[in-house]
Structure 1
Amino acid sequence: MATNMDRDAIRDAYEDVRSNLTDTEWVVFKFESSEIVVAAKGSGFEDFRQQFLDDERAFGYIRIQMGDEMSKRCKFLFLTWIGCDVGVMQRAKMSTDKSIMKEVISNFAAELTAECEADMDLNYFMEVLQKAQGANYGTGIRNEEN
């Protein structure tokens, strides 16, 4: 059965994460039967990482603040989640489903695939984003004493 999705709802959620005018830092898309839907939106990495279960397939899109002492900028990461208890046929279908999602979710600095809780590490996500952005001259922490 072909995968469907509500492109308008997915695009709206994607734009919400990209907007500097909202507090939304992430969105998670899950499967309801053969349809990809917006499952959750929010802020805070801990809430994001709790959205992914071992028996589910999902996609995530998250804004993470990067930068150094002098400049801050948001970078975006696209996540494909294939839980460790997902069957072989559903795993195989994810490559096709991911290409459908990328027709809407098109602007991100890095892309990851995760399958267990240990993969959902903010420091690792930031490391991947740093590598994707090139040169890194600062710590990202402004020294308030100066």
Structure 2
Amino acid sequence: MSGADAPEILAAYDAVRSDKNETNWLLISYASGMGDKLKLTGTGTGGLSELAERFDPGEAQYGYVRVEYANDTESKRVKFVLVIWIGENTKVMRKARVGFESANVKKVLAHHSIQVDARDRSDLEEKEIVARLRKAGGADYNGGRG
């Protein structure tokens, strides 16, 4: 495997999924311009907006984030989102390999409600992501309003 199952990535994944840990996102990047070796390049507690700022327009990267939102005044939902980022300035050969290499990442970051393929930070607007999560989750207690 490409290193997606490295101990530090697995530990970060467990932290994001844990209700007892404040970490709510992780970022995986390629270790070098060549090859498929992956490494953990960040974690944080600032949610989707903080993760979005960490994506590099010249790189292909993978993000995993916990998103919490209210269904109604009585309940809160927690969902997980896998982000496959291919920045607009990513080299052609790297772009071509992401489809294949992302399969290894998906095996490790297996529990997610939706996958977001992002090319630009505007693809990661929280309001749009929550709307997609509501649709994926089935019940919509806000009559379709995000």
TM-score, normalised on structure 1?
0.87
- Match of 1:102, SS? helix
* Structure 1 equivalent of residue 79 of structure 2: 75
Residue 64 in structure 1 maps to residue 67 in structure 2: yes
* Structure 2 equivalent of residue 26 of structure 1: 25
* Structure 2 equivalent of residue 98 of structure 1: 102
Q: Which runs of 5+ in 1 are unaligned?
A: 140-146
Give how far 1:125 is off: 1.1
Q: Whole-Å Cα distance in 2 between the matches of residues 110 and 6 of structure 1?
A: 20
* Structure 1 equivalent of residue 7 of structure 2: 8
Q: Whole-Å Cα distance in 2 between the matches of residues 46 and 101 of structure 1?
A: 22
* Structure 2 equivalent of residue 115 of structure 1: 119
- Match of 2:7, SS? helix
TM-score, normalised on structure 2?
0.87
- Match of 1:78, SS? strand
* Pair 1:29–1:11, CA change in 2 (3 A): same
* Segments of 4+ moved more than 2 angstroms: 2-7
Amino acid paired to 1:41: T
Q: Which runs of 5+ in 2 are unaligned?
A: none
Query: Which of 114, 139, 145 does residue 135 from structure 1 map onto?
Result: 139
Aligned residues: 138
Q: CA RMSD in A?
A: 1.6
Percent of pairs with identical residues: 28
Q: Whole-Å Cα distance in 2 between the matches of residues 68 and 91 of structure 1?
A: 40
Structure number with the higher helix fraction is 2
- Structure with higher Rg: it is 1
Give how far 1:42 is off: 0.5
- Match of 1:62, SS? strand
**Is contact 1:7-1:104 (8 Å) kept?**
no
Q: Whole-Å Cα distance in 2 between the matches of residues 56 and 18 of structure 1?
A: 25
